[in-house]
Amino acid sequence: MRIERRLEQPRWLSFVVPAVAIALATLLGGLVLLVTGHAPVKSFRRLFEAAFTAKGALSATVVSATPLAFTGLCAAVAFRMNLFNIGGEGQLYGGAITGATAGLLLAHSPSPVAIGAMVLAGAAGGALVAAIPGFLRAFLATNEIITSLMLNYVVGLILTYLIFDTHSYLRETKGFEAQVFPQGKTLPASATWPSWTVHGLALPLGFLVAAGLAFAVWGLYARTRFGFEVQVIGDSSRAARYAGMRTRRKILAVMCLSGALAGIGGASQDGDFRHQLDPRGLTAAGYGYAGIVIAALGRYNPFAVVVLAFGLGGLQNAGYTLQSADFPAGLVGVMEGLILFCALGGEIFVRYRVRFERRAPKAPTAALEPEPSP
């Protein structure tokens, strides 16, 4: 087998490869089911129904998709500049903490004010968490991959601490249930985010915000000077420096932007769905990691991120729905992993030309001559 870099990436490949990846993953997942004595077709049909076609399934899928869209955008924005922010998880927690705080503080404000404040506070909280690896990377050249990963745990533990191990402002202290099992204060009605129902499909505000932000991110990167600089820095930081771009500031800015997106996702968790700061629920969900995966699958394209978030959200939603039934637990994670593996493996066919014959039958046409020999 020989592998050569493609000169140009045919467009059709970027559609065919993911489709084949999903098909292959389904096949492999079916194999896993078969080996362990389950009926593959039946299991997959139930999975699909629970995700998309059952009554109310689509609305529930949107609920699962919303945080994934935010964390996916978070990862995509940073990856575009070759910044591997894998701290979307912690940044989402950060946004959830600040978002919930804003919601509780503004209990007596009109709803639009409270909700607007929550969005801003969430963005600020996420940005703050992301600013730490961003600053370290920009000014001390510290690898952002591991620092952002480590902060996931630091912020996650702080989040747990706030509700479980202290009598913080965010914790519910009254009521019988709260005495037995610690939980966050319920947000006031003014801090509850609205949702709209279109043809029976409930669209929460958070999802619409995510879709709007996807559009904004696309515009920012494709049409502005800021986006141009991000592209250049992402492609070659030395070329950027050569052209007089302020790379350090841009690294910090992009990390903060990235964190802010995840942070709004955290605030949306408070306002849209959970109506309290919910450490157990948030830390168990792993939205941040799934977001990275979505961003990578969607090749950092913001629109693809939203679409993929919807697909993966469907899978996760089905996982929750079928949890108690006689359904193989863990199948959802297995399927997610398999799709990822197949898609990652498929990337090579997009980036490279893979040939299996021993000798090249014909000379490629020499339209462009690359630099001869390294």
Q: 90-129: which residues touch other proteins (CB under 8 A)?
A: none
Q: Residue 204 Cβ, how far from other proteins at the closest point, in Å? A: 24
Which residue number, 139 or 196, has a Cβ lying nearer to other proteins? 139
Q: Residue 142 Cβ, how far from other proteins at the closest point, in Å? A: 4
* 181: region left, alpha or beta (phi > 0 left; psi from -120 to 50 alpha): beta
Q: How many other C-beta atoms lie within 10 A of the C-beta of residue 252?
A: 21
Contact residues for 247 (Cβ-Cβ < 8 A; gap 6+)? 138, 233, 237, 240, 241
Which residue number, 45 or 355, has a Cβ lying nearer to other proteins? 355
Chain-centroid distance, C-alpha 110:
31
- Listing DSSP states for 63-110 in one string gives HHHHHHHHHHHHHHHHHTTT-----HHHHHHHHHHHHHHHHHHTTTS-
Q: Which residue has the tokens 């503004």?
A: 106
Radius of gyration of the chain (CA): 23
Q: Are 305 and 296 in contact (CB under 8 A)?
A: no
Residue span binding other proteins (CB under 8 A) among the ranges 6-14, 16-24, 91-99, 108-116: 6-14
Binding to other proteins by CB under 8 A, coded x per residue (else -) over 30-49, reads --x---x-------------
The first and second tokens of residue 212, run together, are 């709007």
* Residue 114 to residue 287: CA distance in whole angstroms: 25
Q: Are 298 and 118 in contact (CB under 8 A)?
A: no
Residue 7, interface with other proteins (CB under 8 A)? yes
Q: Residue 17 Cβ, how far from other proteins at the closest point, in Å? A: 12
Amino acid at 5: R
The first and second tokens of residue 77, run together, are 């924005």
Q: Residue 107 Cβ, how far from other proteins at the closest point, in Å? A: 27
Binding to other proteins by CB under 8 A, coded x per residue (else -) over 276-305, reads ----------x--xx-xx--x---------
Give the footprint of other proteins on residues 55-84 (CB under 8 A).
84
Q: Residue 4 Cβ, how far from other proteins at the closest point, in Å? A: 5
Which residue number, 104 or 136, has a Cβ lying nearer to other proteins? 136
The first and second tokens of residue 203, run together, are 């669209």
Which residue number, 194 or 330, has a Cβ lying nearer to other proteins? 330
Residue span binding other proteins (CB under 8 A) among the ranges 176-184, 200-208, 233-241, 248-256: 233-241
Residue span binding other proteins (CB under 8 A) among the ranges 14-22, 101-109, 114-122, 134-142: 134-142
The single-letter DSSP state of residue 364 is P
Give the footprint of other proteins on residues 301-360 (CB under 8 A).
319, 328-334, 336-338, 340-341, 344-345, 347-348, 351-353, 359-360
Which ranges of 243-365 would DSSP assign to H, the alpha helix? 247-268, 279-285, 287-297, 302-321, 331-351
Residue 2, interface with other proteins (CB under 8 A)? yes
Which residue number, 102 or 127, has a Cβ lying nearer to other proteins? 127
* Residue 183 to residue 321: CA distance in whole angstroms: 23
Q: Which of 142, 168, 186, 190 binds other proteins (CB under 8 A)?
A: 142
Binding to other proteins by CB under 8 A, coded x per residue (else -) over 143-182, reads x-xxx-xxx-xx--xx-xx--xxx----------------
Residue span binding other proteins (CB under 8 A) among the ranges 55-63, 119-127, 140-148, 266-274: 140-148
Interface with other proteins (CB under 8 A), residue total 89
Residue span binding other proteins (CB under 8 A) among the ranges 49-57, 61-69, 218-226, 256-264: 218-226
* Residue 254 to residue 259: CA distance in whole angstroms: 8
Q: Are 69 and 305 in contact (CB under 8 A)?
A: yes
Q: How many other C-beta atoms lie within 10 A of the C-beta of residue 183?
A: 20
Which residue number, 198 or 368, has a Cβ lying nearer to other proteins? 368
* Residue 16 to residue 347: CA distance in whole angstroms: 11
Which residue number, 146 or 189, has a Cβ lying nearer to other proteins? 146
Which residue number, 45 or 351, has a Cβ lying nearer to other proteins? 351
